[in-house]
A and B are shown apart, each in its own frame.
Chain A
Amino acid sequence: MRKIFTRFLNTLFHPHDYFRILGRDRYKSLKIRIVLLDAMISLVPLIIVVTISYFWFQSILKEDFRNQVKWEIENTEQSIEYFVDEKVSALRFLASSYSYEQLSDQKMLNDIFTKFEHEFRGLVDLGLIDSNGIQQAYAGPYPLIGKDYSNQEWFNEVIVRNVYVSDVFMGYRRLPHFAIAVKKNCPEKRSFCILRATIDMKILKRFASTINLRENDDAFIINHDGILQTPSQFHGDVLNKFKLPVLIPERGVSVLDLKELNGGPAIFGYVPITNSPWILVAVVKSTPYLRIPKIFRNELLLISILSVFIGVTVTFLMAQTVVNRIRKADQEIEDAMAKTEQASKLASIGRLAAGVAHEINNPLAIINEKAGLMKDILEMSGDLQQNKEKFLGLISAIFDSVNRCSTITHRLLGFARRMETTHEVLDLNDIVKEVIGFLEKEIAFRNIRLELKLKEDLPKIESDKGQLQQVFLNIINNAVDAIEEGGLIEVSTRVKDKNTVLVSIRDTGSGIPKNKLKSIFEPFYSTKEKGEGTGLGLFISYGIMKKLGGIILVESELNKGTTFTVEIPIRAGDGEGGHV
C-alpha cells in the first residue's frame, strides 16, 4: 500500500523516471503532471465541500429531530402534570365538599366512588383514613376496611404535606397502582382525615405512549430512585430498576446523546414531572433523520460527477494548450539555437578559409625561393657537375612544399564538404575509432582506461560522418571530464534491431543526479565553471541526432557513472520522422 502511494507521488513529481526522458515524451509527461495536479487541486475542495455539506445537512436534521423529541417529552410531561393536578384538585374538592360523616359512611362513599369513577378513568378505589391511619371507609374492589397505614411513608408524608402523590406500587392482587391522598380537616373529630384514591398505572402508561414512538424507541416513567412506574419496552417491567443513572435536574427537559446503549447510539431525554415523584423518560434509538431523501443524495452525486467530468476535461484542454505553447516556445529556442549553430559554422568556415590562405604562404614562399635559387645558380654558373646534387635537393624540397600546400587545401575542402549534411555509407566502428584517435592523448594523460567493445560485422549505416563524429566527440569529452582522473570509459557498438544500431559510451565518473537528468539536453545546461564550456554541446548533439533520425538516451547513478546511448538508424532518417 505504501509502495503504491510512493510510486504515485513519484509519478506526480518525478515522472521522468517512468517516462522516456526526452523528445515528445517530455511534453506528454508534463501534460500528465499538470492534469493530475490540477485535478487534485480542484477536486479535493469539491469533495471536501460536498462531504461537509452532506454531514452538516445530516446534523441539522438530527438536531431538528432532537428538538422534536424534546418538545414531545415536554408536551407529555405537561399532560401528565395536568392530569395529576386535575386529579388532586378533584380529590380536594371531594374532601372539602363532604364532611367526615358523609365520607365515612360506607354507602355514601360507594356512591361518591361510583360517580367519581364514571368521570375519573383509572380510579381503582377511594378510601377514608382517620388520623390514626386506620381506613375507616373504603370503596373499591379490595377488602381494605380497617387497614392500618400509620406506618406507611405516604401517611406520614400526607400529614405533613397535605397532598401526596405516590410512586407506583404493587397493590393487593399484584397490580401496579399509584395513589393520591389529600388531607382533610375534620373539625368534628378535632383532627384530620385523609381521603385517598388509588389509580391504575395504565393511565400513566397511556400518557407515556403518546410520545410518538417508532420501533426501537421507548418512553416510560420512573421515580427518583429509578424504579420504573410504567412498563418499558427495553428496560424492564414495572417496578424494576432502570439501569441508567441520570442526573435529574429540578425541572426542565434534558436531552443527551448516548453513544452506546444496547448496541447503538440513542437519544436519551427525560424530564421531572412537576408535583409528582416521577420522571418521564424517552429513549429514542430510531434515526429517521438518516433517511436523507434519496433525491437529494442523487442530485448531489450527479452534480459531483458532472463537476468532476467538466473539471478534468477543462484541465486537460488547458494543459494541452499550455504544453503546446511551451513546446512551441522550446521549438523556437531550438531553432534559434540551430541558427546560432549555423552562424557559428559560417564563422568557423570563414576562419578556416582565412587560416588556410595564411598557412599556405609559407610553403609557397619556400617553393618560390628554391626555384629562385635554382635560377640564380643556373644563371651564374651553367656548370651542372658541381651543383647537380644541390639541384636535385632543391627540386625535392619543392615537391615537399607542393605536397604541404595540397594537404592544407585538402583539409579546407573536406571541412567545407562536411558542412552540409551528407548521406554516405559509413562504417560506424571506423568513425568511433577515429574520434577516439582525436582524444587518445587526453585520455591517456588523465590515466583513464579505455575499453572498446566494437561489434564485428556491424551493418554499414547511411548517415553523416562529420555530424556523427561531432556527437561522439562531445559525449566522450563529457565522459573524460566527468572522470577527471583514473577510471574507465567503455565504448561499445551493437545492433539494436533490424533498423537501428547503437553506440554506448559508459564512464565511471561522478554521475548525474536523477533530478538533473532531464535537464542535461537543455541549452546552456552545464556543470562546468563559468567560462568553461558553452553548455550547448549536448543540446546541439541531441539536435543533430534528431535530424539524423536517431536519439540520445542517458542513464546515470551518482558516484557510479553514466551511460550515454546513441541510437542511429541504418537507413538515413528523414529529419524527425524516424524516431519520436
Chain B
Amino acid sequence: MTVTKILLVDDEVEFVSALSERLRLRNYDAKAVYHAEDAMPTIMKDKPDVVLLDLKMPGIDGIEILKAIKKFDTTIKVIILSGQGDREIADEGIKVGAFDYVMKPVDIGEIITKIEQAKKSR
C-alpha cells in the first residue's frame, strides 16, 4: 500500500504544523505550505494525492487556487478546511470541484475518514 501524499495549504502556521505532524504520526506523508503562492509550485513538484486547502487566506482567492489545482491535475482530491461561518464558500468550493470539506476545529478522525475516501475515489 502506497503512502498517501498529503499537502496542507493554510496560513495558520501553528495549526497546520500540528495537524501535519499528527498526520505523519499516522503514517501519512504530510507536508505543509503556509503561503498561497507556494501552493501551486509545490503541488507541481510533489504531486500529492490529497490537498487540504484553506479557502480564506488573506490576499488570495482560495477558489482560484482550487481551480488551478483542478486544472493542473484533476485526479488530485481537494478537501477544504473551512471556518465555522464559511459554509457558503465551502459549498462554492464543492461546486468548483472540491471533494469534501471539514470545519475547524477539525476532528482528526473525521479528517482521516475523508482522506481515505478521497484516496479511494481516485
Contacts and interface: CB of A to CB of B under 8 A. Distances in A.
Contacts of A558: none
A354 to B, nearest CB: 6
B19 A362 contact: no
B21 A365 contact: no
B15 A365 contact: yes
B105 interface: yes
A457 B26 CA distance: 65
A118 interface: no
A247 interface: no
B84 A369 contact: no
Contacts of A401: 14
Contact of A376 (B14, B25, B83, B85): B25
Contacts of B60: none
Contacts of A365: 12, 15, 104-106
B35 interface: no
Contacts of A361: 83-85, 104-105
Interface in B79-122: 83-86, 104-106, 108
A394 interface: yes
B18 interface: yes
A362 B15 contact: yes
B84 A366 contact: no
A259 B57 CA distance: 102
A366 B108 contact: no
B22 interface: yes
Contacts of A357: 84-85
Contact of A372 (B14, B18, B85): B18
Nearest to A404: B14
Nearest to A362: B12
Interface residues on B, range: 10 to 19
Looking at A354, A364, A376, A377, the one whose CB has the most chain B CB atoms below 10 A away is: A376
Interface of A: prevailing SS: helix
A401 B13 CA distance: 12
B2 to A, nearest CB: 22
B83 A362 contact: yes
A373 B108 CA distance: 10
Contact of A366 (B18, B21, B25, B83): B18
B108 A372 contact: yes
A114 to B, nearest CB: 148
A354 B85 contact: yes
B85 A369 contact: no
Interface string A255-288: 0000000000000000000000000000000000
| Size bin of chain A's contact surface | 20 to 34
Contacts of A400: 14
Interface in A10-30: none
Contacts, number: 57
A368 B105 contact: yes
B83 to A, nearest CB: 4
Contacts of A377: 25
A367 interface: yes
Nearest to B54: A362
Interface in A357-383: 357-358, 361-362, 364-370, 372-373, 376-377, 380
Contact of A358 (B12, B25, B85, B105): B85
| Most A Cβ at <10 Å: residue of B18, B19, B26, B104 | B18
B94 to A, nearest CB: 19
Contacts of B26: 376
A397 interface: yes
A358 B83 CA distance: 7
Interface in B2-16: 12, 14-15
A366 B108 CA distance: 13
A154 B86 CA distance: 138
Contacts of A380: 25
A57 to B, nearest CB: 90
Contacts of A394: 18
Interface string B25-69: 110000000000000000000000000000000000000000000
A170 B106 CA distance: 149
Contact of B22 (A358, A369, A397): A369
Contacts of A370: 14, 18
Contact of B104 (A354, A362, A373): A362
Interface string A292-325: 0000000000000000000000000000000000
Contacts of B105: 361, 364-365, 367-369
Contacts of B18: 366, 369-370, 372-373, 394, 397
Contacts of B15: 362, 365-366, 369
A365 B104 CA distance: 6
B83 A373 contact: no
Contacts of A362: 12, 15, 83, 104
A373 B84 contact: no
Nearest to B25: A376
A364 B18 CA distance: 13
A79 B39 CA distance: 135
B36 to A, nearest CB: 16
A373 B22 CA distance: 5
A361 B102 CA distance: 13
Contacts of B104: 361-362, 364-365, 368
A568 to B, nearest CB: 40
Contacts of A354: 85
Given A357-B84, A367-B105, A372-B108, A397 B14 contact: yes
Nearest 10 interchain pairs by C-beta = A369-B18, A368-B105, A365-B104, A365-B105, A361-B83, A366-B15, A366-B14, A358-B85, A373-B18, A369-B19
28 contacts: A354-B85, A357-B85, A358-B84, A358-B85, A358-B86, A361-B83, A361-B85, A361-B104, A362-B15, A362-B104, A364-B105, A365-B104, A365-B106, A366-B14, A366-B15, A368-B104, A369-B15, A369-B22, A369-B105, A369-B106, A370-B18, A372-B108, A373-B22, A376-B25, A377-B25, A397-B18, A400-B14, A401-B14
Given A354-B85, A358-B84, A373-B22, 18 more contacts: A358-B83, A361-B83, A361-B85, A362-B12, A362-B15, A365-B104, A365-B105, A366-B18, A368-B104, A368-B105, A369-B15, A369-B22, A369-B105, A369-B106, A373-B18, A373-B25, A377-B25, A394-B18
